[in-house]
C-alpha cells in the first residue's frame, strides 16, 4: 500500500482530494458547502495536472540565457490546462453563487432538500 | 481555397460573437440576431453536409497556424455535419415555436441576455460536435453547462431556481469526472488531440486484460458524460430542469444541448479508444443495462405524471435510454442506430415540448392532465404536433421513431441472442408503456372541451413552427433513408 504513495505523493493526494470534493458536492445538503466541494474537486485535478507537468531540477519555460533546449524546462502544457481550468471553475462558481443568493433570498435557507420541498409546495 | 472548409470554424466562432452583440442590443434586435445566427449555422452545416454528401472526404481544420498535436484542431466530416445540421434545425424550430412564450416568461430587460445565452449554447454544441481536442471538449462541456443553467434560470420562478440548482450540481459532478478522466488520459499518453491519442493508445488494443488506468479513464468519461446527458440512475435532475422553464429552454435542453454531450461520448468511444478497446474494458454491458433500465423506469415514471411537461421530460429519460442501449451494444450498426435515434429524438422531443407548451397556453396556463381536456381542439396545430410527436416516439410507422426502433432491433439481432432478446423485450415493454401514457394524453386533449376555459390567443408564429416541425417529423419517417445512409457512411469515416 505504502509503495503506491512513494513517488506518487501528489497524485495520491489529488485523488483523495478529488474524492473528498466529489462526495461533498454530491452528498452535502448545504449549497455553499456544495460549492466548496466543487472547488476542492476542481483544484485536485489542477494539482494532478501540475504534478504531471513538473520535472525535478528544471526551471519554468521562460527563455533565459539563450538556453533553447527543451531539456532545461518543465512541461508547460499542464500549466496551460490548469489556467484554462481555473477560468472555467471560476465562472461556474460565480454562476452557482449567484444562484445560491437567489435561492436564499426566496427561501431563506441554503438546504437544497428543503428548497426543493418548498418549491414543490408551490410558492413559485 | 474552398470556402466551405471554414464552415466548422464559423459555426463555433460566429455564435460566440453574435452572443456578445445580443447582450447589448435592444430586445427585438437581440432576438433577430439570435434567430439569424442559428439560421446561418443551420445553413453552414447544411452546406458542408451537402459537400461531404457529394463525396468530399473528412478533414481537420487547424485553429491557428499550428497543425496536429501542437495546435488546436476541429474535425469535420459527413457524420459531424449531418448531426450538427439536424441539431441546428431543431434548435431553430424550438426557438421559433417558443419565442412568443419566451417574451412573456422572461423579464423584458433580460431578453437580450436570454438570446445571448442561446448563442452561447449554439456555439458550445457545435464545438462539442466539431472539436478534435479533448480539452477543448471539456471547456465547451462547461460552457454548455453554464448556458443550460442560464436557460433554465431565465424564468423567474421558484421551481426553475430549485430545478436549476439540482441540474447544476449533478452536471458539475459529471464534468468533474470528465475533467479527471481527461487529465488522467493526458498523464498516460501526453496528448489531448484525438488523432494523436488514438495513435498512442493503439498499442494497448492488443494487451489483454486492458490496463486498469485505461479502464478507469473510460469509466470516468462514460459516467461523466452519462450523468450530463441524463442516463438512467443519474436522471433525477431531468424533470425539474426540463419542465418548468420557458418552453424554448426545455426544448433546447432536451433536444439540443444534451445531444452535444452524447455526441462527444460517441466521439470518445469511437475515435479515441475504438470499439474493440471499449468492448475489452467491460463498460458495454453496464451502459447497456443502464440504458435498458432507463427506458423502462423512465416510461414507468412517465405514466405516473399528471403534469404534461413532466411526462414529456420523463419520456426523455426513456429516449436517452434507447441511445445508450445502442452505445452499450458497441457495434457499428448499433452506434449508427443510436446516432439516428439522436436525430429522431431531437426532432420529436423539441416538437413535444413546444406543442405541450402551446396546449398549456390554450388551457388557461394549467399543465395538469384534467385541465388539458379539449385543448387539442382549441389549438389545432399544437394538438396535431403533439399527436405526431407522441406517435413518433411510440414507434408508429411512417414516423421517425419507428425507423430507429427497427434499426436498433436489427443491430441487436446482429450482435447475439442475448442482446436480441433483451432489446426486443425492452422495446416491446417500453412501446406498451409509451402507448399507455401517450394515448392517454392524446385522447385527453381531444376530449369534448369545457367551454369556460380561458384560452390564450394562439400565436400564429408558433403555430407555423409547429406545422413545420410536424412536416419534418413525417419527412424523417418517410424519406430519411439518405440521412441514415449519410450517418452510416459518415460513421465509417469517423
Grid coordinates standing for B122? 449554439
CA torsion angle B259 B260 B265 B268 (round to 10): 150
Nearest-angstrom CA–CA distance, B432 and B393: 12
Nearest-angstrom CA–CA distance, A85 and B63: 20
Residue in chain A closest to B181 (alpha carbons) equals A45
Grid coordinates standing for A79? 500549466
Confidence at residue B224, expressed as pLDDT on a 0 to 100 scale: 95
Of the residues B147, B175, B176, the best mutation for testing chain A's interface (the one with the most A CB atoms within 10 Å of its CB) is: B176
CB contact under 8 A, A124 and B153: no
Q: Compute the residue count for chain A.
A: 124
Low-confidence ranges of chain A (pLDDT < 70): 1-2, 4, 67, 123-124
**Cell 508547460 belongs to which residue?**
A76
**Cell 462558481 belongs to which residue?**
A93
- Secondary structure letter of residue B207 according to DSSP: S
Bridge partners for B368 per DSSP: B307
Grid coordinates standing for B342? 439522436
Distance from CA of A65 to the nearest CA of B (A): 25
Count Cβ atoms below 10 Å from residue B208 Cβ, excluding itself. Answer: 7
Nearest-angstrom CA–CA distance, B65 and B55: 27
CB contact under 8 A, B145 and A92: yes
Confidence at residue B453, expressed as pLDDT on a 0 to 100 scale: 67
Q: Please tell me the number of Cα atoms within 13 Å of B226 on its side-chain side.
A: 26
CB contact under 8 A, B168 and A96: yes
Q: Of the candidates B467, B468, B291, B325, which has an alpha carbon nearest to the alpha carbon of residue B404?
A: B325
From B143, B149, B165, residue closest to A31, measured CB to CB = B165
From A18, A41, A88, residue closest to B142, measured CB to CB = A88
The answer to whether B462 and B98 are in contact (CB under 8 A) is yes
- The DSSP bridge pattern shows strands B73-76 and B59-62 to be antiparallel
Distance from CA of B120 to the nearest CA of A (A): 14
From B164, B183, B187, residue closest to A99, measured CB to CB = B164
From B173, B184, B186, residue closest to A25, measured CB to CB = B173
CATH 1.10.287.3510: does it fit domain A2-120?
yes
Sign of CA dihedral B444, B448, B451, B457: positive
Grid coordinates standing for A54? 513538473
Task: Name the H helices within B395-480.
Answer: 400-415, 417-445, 460-478
CB contact under 8 A, B161 and A99: yes
From B146, B150, B169, residue closest to A25, measured CB to CB = B169
Bridge partners for B74 per DSSP: B61, B131
Domain locations in chain B as residue ranges: 1-277, 283-494
Confidence at residue A124, expressed as pLDDT on a 0 to 100 scale: 43
CB contact under 8 A, B142 and A107: no
The answer to whether B263 and B83 are in contact (CB under 8 A) is yes
Of the residues A96, A109, A122, the best mutation for testing chain B's interface (the one with the most B CB atoms within 10 Å of its CB) is: A96
Low-confidence ranges of chain B (pLDDT < 70): 1, 450-456
B176 shares contact with chain A (CB less than 8 Å): yes
Q: Of the candidates B258, B353, B374, which has an alpha carbon nearest to the alpha carbon of residue B311?
A: B353
Measured CA to CA in angstroms, residue A124 lies from A106, B161, B163, B167, B248 at distances of: 9, 9, 12, 18, 19
Nearest-angstrom CA–CA distance, A80 and A74: 12
Chain B residues in contact with A74 by the CB 8 A cut-off are: none
Chain B residues in contact with A26 by the CB 8 A cut-off are: 169, 173
B16 shares contact with chain A (CB less than 8 Å): no
- Secondary structure letter of residue B157 according to DSSP: -
What are the respective helix, strand and coil percentages of chain B, to the nearest 5?
80, 5, 15
The answer to whether B125 and B256 are in contact (CB under 8 A) is yes
Chain A residues in contact with B179 by the CB 8 A cut-off are: 42, 45, 85
**b vs e for B292-330, b when ≥16 Cβ sit within 10 Å of the residue's Cβ?**
bbbbbbbbbbbeebebbbbbbbbbbbbbbbbbbbbbbbb
Measured CA to CA in angstroms, residue B30 lies from B108, B186, B270 at distances of: 12, 40, 39
Contacts of B400 (CB under 8 A, 6+ apart): B343, B344, B347, B348, B392, B473, B476, B477, B480
From A18, A21, A99, residue closest to B168, measured CB to CB = A99
Amino acid at each position: 500500500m505504502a509503495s503506491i504513495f512513494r513517488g506518487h505523493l501528489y497524485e495520491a493526494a489529488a485523488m483523495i482530494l478529488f474524492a473528498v470534493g466529489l462526495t461533498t458536492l454530491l452528498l452535502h445538503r448545504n449549497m455553499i458547502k456544495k460549492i466548496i466541494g466543487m472547488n476542492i474537486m476542481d483544484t485536485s485535478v489542477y494539482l494532478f495536472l501540475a504534478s504531471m507537468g513538473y520535472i525535478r531540477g528544471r526551471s519554468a519555460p521562460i527563455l533565459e540565457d539563450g538556453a533553447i533546449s527543451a531539456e532545461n524546462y518543465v512541461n508547460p502544457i499542464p500549466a496551460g490546462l490548469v489556467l484554462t481550468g481555473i477560468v472555467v471553475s471560476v465562472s461556474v462558481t460565480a454562476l452557482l453563487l449567484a444562484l445560491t443568493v437567489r435561492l436564499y433570498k426566496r427561501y431563506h435557507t441554503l438546504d437544497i432538500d428543503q428548497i426543493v420541498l418548498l418549491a414543490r409546495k408551490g410558492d413559485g | 481555397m474552398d470556402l466551405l472548409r471554414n464552415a466548422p470554424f464559423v459555426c463555433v466562432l460566429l455564435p460566440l460573437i453574435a452572443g456578445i452583440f445580443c447582450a447589448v442590443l435592444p430586445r427585438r434586435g437581440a432576438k433577430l440576431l439570435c434567430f439569424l445566427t442559428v439560421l446561418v449555422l443551420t445553413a453552414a452545416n447544411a452546406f458542408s453536409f451537402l459537400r461531404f454528401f457529394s463525396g468530399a472526404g473528412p478533414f481537420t481544420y487547424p485553429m491557428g497556424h499550428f497543425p496536429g498535436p501542437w495546435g488546436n484542431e476541429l474535425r469535420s466530416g459527413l457524420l459531424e455535419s449531418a448531426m450538427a445540421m439536424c441539431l441546428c434545425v431543431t434548435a431553430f424550430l424550438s426557438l421559433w415555436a417558443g419565442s412568443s412564450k419566451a417574451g412573456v416568461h422572461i423579464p423584458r430587460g433580460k431578453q437580450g441576455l436570454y438570446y445571448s445565452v442561446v448563442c452561447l449554447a449554439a456555439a458550445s454544441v457545435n464545438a462539442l460536435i466539431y472539436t478534435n481536442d479533448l480539452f477543448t471538449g471539456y471547456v465547451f462541456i462547461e460552457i454548455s453547462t453554464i448556458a443550460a443553467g442560464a436557460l433554465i434560470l431565465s424564468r423567474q420562478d421558484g421551481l426553475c431556481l430549485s430545478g436549476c440548482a439540482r441540474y447544476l450540481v449533478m452536471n458539475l459532478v459529471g464534468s468533474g469526472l470528465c475533467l479527471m478522466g481527461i487529465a488522467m488520459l493526458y498523464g498516460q499518453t501526453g496528448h489531448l488531440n484525438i488523432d494523436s491519442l488514438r495513435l498512442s493508445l493503439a498499442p494497448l488494443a492488443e494487451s489483454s486484460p486492458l490496463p486498469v488506468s485505461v479502464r478507469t479513464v473510460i469509466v470516468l468519461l462514460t459516467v461523466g458524460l452519462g450523468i450530463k446527458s441524463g442516463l438512467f440512475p443519474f436522471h433525477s435532475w431531468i424533470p425539474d430542469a426540463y419542465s418548468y422553464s420557458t418552453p424554448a429552454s426545455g426544448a433546447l435542453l432536451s433536444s439540443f444541448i444534451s445531444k452535444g454531450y452524447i455526441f462527444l461520448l460517441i466521439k470518445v468511444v469511437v475515435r479515441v479508444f475504438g470499439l474493440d478497446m471499449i468492448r475489452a474494458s467491460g463498460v458495454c454491458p453496464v451502459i447497456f443495462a443502464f440504458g435498458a433500465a432507463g427506458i423502462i423506469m423512465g416510461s414507468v415514471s412517465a405514466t405516473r405524471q399528471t403534469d404534461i411537461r413532466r411526462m414529456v421530460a420523463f419520456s426523455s429519460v426513456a429516449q436517452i435510454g434507447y441511445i445508450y442501449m445502442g452505445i452499450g451494444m458497441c457495434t457499428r450498426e448499433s452506434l449508427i442506430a443510436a446516432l439516428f435515434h439522436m436525430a429522431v429524438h431531437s426532432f420529436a422531443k423539441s416538437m413535444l415540448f413546444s406543442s405541450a407548451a402551446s396546449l398549456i397556453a390554450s388551457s388557461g396556463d394549467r399543465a395538469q392532465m384534467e385541465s388539458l381536456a379539449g385543448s387539442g381542439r382549441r389549438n389545432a396545430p399544437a394538438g396535431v404536433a403533439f399527436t405526431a410527436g407522441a406517435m413518433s416516439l411510440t414507434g408508429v410507422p411512417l414516423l421517425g421513431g419507428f425507423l430507429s426502433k427497427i434499426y436498433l432491433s436489427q443491430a441487436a439481432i446482429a450482435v447475439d441472442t442475448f442482446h436480441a432478446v433483451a432489446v426486443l423485450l425492452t422495446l416491446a415493454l417500453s412501446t406498451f408503456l409509451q402507448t399507455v401514457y401517450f394515448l392517454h394524453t392524446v385522447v385527453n386533449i381531444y376530449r369534448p372541451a369545457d367551454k369556460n376555459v380561458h384560452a390564450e390567443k394562439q400565436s400564429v408564429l408558433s403555430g407555423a413552427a409547429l406545422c413545420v416541425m410536424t412536416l419534418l417529423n413525417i419527412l424523417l419517417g418517410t424519406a430519411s433513408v439518405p440521412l441514415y445512409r449519410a450517418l452510416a457512411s459518415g460513421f465509417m469515416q469517423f
